[in-house]
Amino acid sequence: MQIRECTAADVALLAELHLQLIEDERSDGSWDFSQLAALMRDRIAAEYKAFLFTEGATTVGYALCDVAREPVYLQHFFICRDERRKGYGRQAIRALLNTLGIATLDIEVYAWNERGIAFWSALGFETRCHSMRLNTKGH
């Protein structure tokens, strides 16, 4: 597996991958492609770094990291649907840690994302806090 840092030329691909991530996570946000492309463009122009994971000519996934935070915060991590269950997730995290030269990484996982929680736990991530939200709109 190869890893490379994304540039503005990768914004459309990152937006498409992020749309799939939103679907898979069952995120409670609603974004369209143009909004996500603008978000990605802004993020990688500022304090974030995005990375593509590839195997030959095939895009395997991507990560978006807030490298201004200490420890680094992994905001998005996605392995393409057709590339799952092949060990790429574990390889991608190792490549990301090596590329960034770090040993500690923070993440957040939706409470309802059981597959995500199982994946991160299997990699050795431990629960540090529970993030909660009250939404009284519509009640």
List, as one string, the DSSP characters of 67-87. Answer: TTSSSEEEEEEEE-GGGTTSS
Tell me if 29 is assigned to some domain.
yes
Domain tally, the chain: 1
Domain assignment of residue 72, yes or no: yes
49 domain-assigned: yes
Q: What is the CATH number of the domain that holds 17?
A: 3.40.630.30
State the pLDDT at residue 138.
64
Domain presence at residue 135:
no
Q: Is the pLDDT of residue 139 over 80?
A: no
Question: Does residue 127 lie within any of the structural domains?
Answer: no
pLDDT at residue 127, rounded to an integer: 92
Q: Is the pLDDT of residue 134 over 90?
A: no
Per-residue pLDDT tens over the stretch 16-67:
998 888 887 776 667 788 888 988 999 988 889 999 999 999 999 999 999 9
* Residue 64 domain flag: yes
**Per-residue model confidence (pLDDT) at position 27:** 67
129 within some domain:
no
Q: How far apart are the first and last CA of the chain?
A: 48
Look at residue 130 and tell me if it is in a domain: no
Distance CA 102, CA 96 (A): 9
Residue range of the domain that includes 25: 2-122
Token output for 42: 């802004």
The rounded distance, in Å, linking the Cα atoms of 4 and 85 is 22
